[in-house]
Structure 1
Amino acid sequence: MTEQKTERLSEPAAGPDPVDDAAVELPLGVRVAAAWSWRLIVIGVAVAALLWLIVEVRIIVIPILIAILLTALLQPLVNALRRLGLPRWVGVVAALLALFASVSLLVVLIVTQLRSGLEDVTSRSTRAWRDFLAWIETSFGVSGDQVDGFIDQIVRTIEDHQDEIWSGALAATTTAGQVLTGALLTLFSLIFFLLDGKRIWFWVLGFLPSRAHAPVDTAGRAGWSSVGQYVRVQIFVAFVDAVGIGVGAAILGVPLPVPIAILVFLGSFIPFLGAIATGALAVFIALVYNGPINALVMLGVVILVQQLESHVLQPLVMGTAVRVHPLGVVLAVSTGALLAGIPGALFAVPLAAALNAMVNALNERGWERGHDPVAAFLKGDKRQRVVRRRARHVARLERRKGSA
């Protein structure tokens, strides 16, 4: 009896065999996909958190980015005056005065030119719109009230969704207080970047592990060089666009050629979108003042200048400077405008150029092994402070001897 009971206990239980999880070997593709999936999820969460943080502090981020672009533009002037033996603060003051003079000149030209012609543009636009409504009514049998109602509906739709259209993740500041705060922050950041940019950079590097100092410094210098080249080349491209369209407008007898040229110059800093908007404005003024034939010729001038930029300046000058494919520029501008509105479109290309240069520098691994740039900078900075302290001491002794 006992033997039968023992045999029954030793018999395996009925049902399917238990499966050992360790014995299940997943295909290589599934394991690779799973490994990449959780890593991509972590990266996505980190990027989302970073974007949320930038949105929360956008009133600080946008002025600092503007100051960085202006620093890349003005730094060569400061360095040139420094090589002439002048103190750095003299170069900074000269660079700031040159910037303020240029901006003031553009503002004065726009205000003085538009003050005399804006009222006339408004009246002629109203008259041209009435003529267009009359032509629509006689040609297609559509009443002007129907067209006005359709236009009003479009305007109301745009107004209802203007936050989504214009703001994006980095909405431009709209209140006077935010504009003033951003302007002051940009100015102070620009001054300190020009005066002590190298010290600020190595201070930021100091938060990283020592083994990361050399590669990050190499990548940062490559990105900074690319941003500087982009800013200088973009000014040249914008100048060519402004001169071409402004001269074309003057030759065709289009009113307000100087404001048109200035707006084209400023709009060219937003790739593709800015050029299209300012070119459309030039064509509209030609249509209102000189009729459809003159507007078509003005449109041809705008297209010719844009083709010159796209097929000559962008590949030969901009492509060599920033080494970003035109398709990458289009995608960067579109993504930046989608995520951050106008600021995103403005900063998209320099950011893409900097990232491209930094990745290439890291791939080349051109930094010196075992070299710590932060430690070398701190050592050299300490030596310079000692030299300056001794020079001041010698100067005080000489002044005392002279007074005695």
Structure 2
Amino acid sequence: SEGPLQITATQLDTYIHDAQNLLQNNQSILVSGVLSVGSSAGHIITGALIALFVLVFFLLEGERIWAFLVGLLPSAAQPATDGAGLAGWRSLVSYVRVQVLVAAVDAVGIGVGAAILGVPLALPLAILVFIASFIPVVGALVSGVVAVLLALVANGLVNAVIMLVVVIAVQQLESHVLQPLVMGRAVSLHPVAVILSVAAGSYLAGIPGALFAVPMLAVANSAVRYISARAWETESAPVAPAEVHSVSAGATESPETP
């Protein structure tokens, strides 16, 4: 007799037998696949733990680690290296803060527009826009295309056109207001340099290269500008603790001491 799935007992036995034969004939392939997946997962977990461990130490001991690295250089090169590194770090911090603000504005604008239009998956779409906004030029284009296509498939041509208008409005706000006023003050980079760096980074390292190309360029730009201006020569050097101690000791000596 057939059950609710319209399958007889003989057919079920045949399916089970075929599945057993398939597993036996491809046992080596399945084992190697499981081992490969397990090895990849192990590498990912190990890399994540190492990155977390290093991040904690950089947050807690970042200044001491940087001072140690600078101290390994010749004394004549230490002021320039220290100042250039700090200038690059300040530029990186400013870039990250501004980029988070820009990405949040893009995500909120497109996500709210999608929700008002009734486009499904509005929240995942906003998350995608936020992440893609960290890739200059290309990220905004890709996320905008995804939003319009999603509106077209789900709600038809009219909603897709309205979604396109929303995407263009948000990107125009970013390009003509946020980027010049906020990003221009934080990181001084020419648009051509940004495009070329993203292209080179994506060619050399794929998506991670596109993500980190502009921050690395911003750091290098600030460091090179600092060194070319020889800014460390005009900065007041901080007094070392040993020097402060020696000055205090000299001030407390008795006047009769020869």
Same fold (TM over 0.5): yes
2:250 paired residue number: none
Gaps of 5+ in 1: 1-173, 383-404
Query: Is 1:218 aligned to residue 218 of structure 2?
Result: no
Residue 370 to residue 329, structure 1, CA distance change in 2 (3 Å) = closer
Give structure 1 regions of 4+ aligned residues with deviation exceeding 3 angstroms: 368-373
CA deviations on 1:358-400 (whole Å, 9 max, x unpaired) are 1111122121489987x947x59x9xxxxxxxxxxxxxxxxxx
CA deviations on 1:319-342 (whole Å, 9 max, x unpaired) are 110111122111111111111111
1:358 paired residue number: 223
Greater Rg, structure 1 or structure 2?
A: 1
Aligned residues: 207
Distance in 1, Cα, partners of 2:95 & 2:186:
6
2:211 paired residue number: 346
Distance in 2, Cα, partners of 1:177 & 1:276:
35
Residue 371 to residue 320, structure 1, CA distance change in 2 (3 Å) = closer
2:118 paired residue number: 253
Secondary structure of residue in 1 paired with 2:214: helix
Of 172, 190, 197, which residue of structure 1 is paired with 2:62? 197
Letter in 2 for 1:245: I
Aligned-residue offset at 1:216: 0.6
Q: How does 1:53-92 map to 2 (within 5 A)?
A: none
2:108 paired residue number: 243
CA deviations on 1:130-182 (whole Å, 9 max, x unpaired) are xxxxxxxxxxxxxxxxxxxxxxxxxxxxxxxxxxxxxxxxxxxx921222122
Distance in 2, Cα, partners of 1:197 & 1:228:
14
8 Å CA contact 1:214, 1:371 repeated in 2? no
1:325 paired residue number: 190
Distance in 2, Cα, partners of 1:331 & 1:254:
35
1:289 paired residue number: 154
8 Å CA contact 1:213, 1:372 repeated in 2? no
1:54 paired residue number: none
Identity in percent: 60
Letter in 2 for 1:290: N
Query: Is 1:306 aligned to residue 188 of structure 2?
Result: no
Distance in 1, Cα, partners of 2:149 & 2:50:
37
Secondary structure of residue in 2 paired with 1:210: coil
TM-score normalized by structure 1?
0.48
Secondary structure of residue in 2 paired with 1:323: coil
Residue 201 to residue 300, structure 1, CA distance change in 2 (3 Å) = same
Q: How does 1:3-152 map to 2 (within 5 A)?
A: none
CA deviations on 1:195-234 (whole Å, 9 max, x unpaired) are 0100100111122111000001111110000000000000
Residue 372 to residue 180, structure 1, CA distance change in 2 (3 Å) = farther
8 Å CA contact 1:270, 1:346 repeated in 2? yes
Residue 328 to residue 204, structure 1, CA distance change in 2 (3 Å) = same
Distance in 2, Cα, partners of 1:264 & 1:369:
44
Residue 207 to residue 276, structure 1, CA distance change in 2 (3 Å) = same
TM-score normalized by structure 2?
0.74
Q: How does 1:169-208 map to 2 (within 5 A)?
A: 175-208=40-73
Aligned-residue offset at 1:257: 1.2
Distance in 2, Cα, partners of 1:273 & 1:257:
21
1:265 paired residue number: 130
Of 166, 175, 180, which residue of structure 2 is paired with 1:315? 180
8 Å CA contact 1:222, 1:361 repeated in 2? yes
Distance in 2, Cα, partners of 1:310 & 1:192:
37
Distance in 1, Cα, partners of 2:235 & 2:134:
41
Gaps of 5+ in 2: 1-38, 246-258
Aligned-residue offset at 1:240: 0.3
Letter in 2 for 1:195: L
Distance in 2, Cα, partners of 1:299 & 1:330:
23
Distance in 2, Cα, partners of 1:300 & 1:175:
42
Distance in 2, Cα, partners of 1:276 & 1:252:
20
Letter in 1 for 2:117: L
Secondary structure of residue in 1 paired with 2:77: helix
